[in-house]
Amino acid sequence: EVGPTMVGDEHSDPNLMNYLGAMKRNMLGNHFWEYYVNDAPRIVLDKLENRGYRVVSMTGVGQTLVWCLHKE
């Protein structure tokens, strides 16, 4: 997979979003904000692993891949 990668919503930890280099955006037609990075998911997952997060599960939803993580 390649970026951009959605990494959070408007309720996400701002310090973590800053660490990931995420930018906040509102897509036309959505009533919520999301954080994204231009990095590929593997780069984001490596950064999150360095912060103590571990992948618990992964699934595909249409053309989208979703990873669930847990912080140790």
List the chain pLDDT tens, one digit each, 72 residues. Answer: 787 899 999 999 999 999 999 999 988 888 899 999 999 999 999 999 999 999 999 999 998 899 999 998
CB atoms within 10 A of CB 22: 23
Taking a C-beta distance cutoff of 8 angstroms, is the pair 33, 26 a contact? yes
Question: In angstroms, how far is CA 21 from the centroid of its own chain?
Answer: 11
Model confidence, pTM: 0.85
Cα–Cα dist 43/58, whole Å: 16
Q: How far apart are the first and last CA of the chain?
A: 26
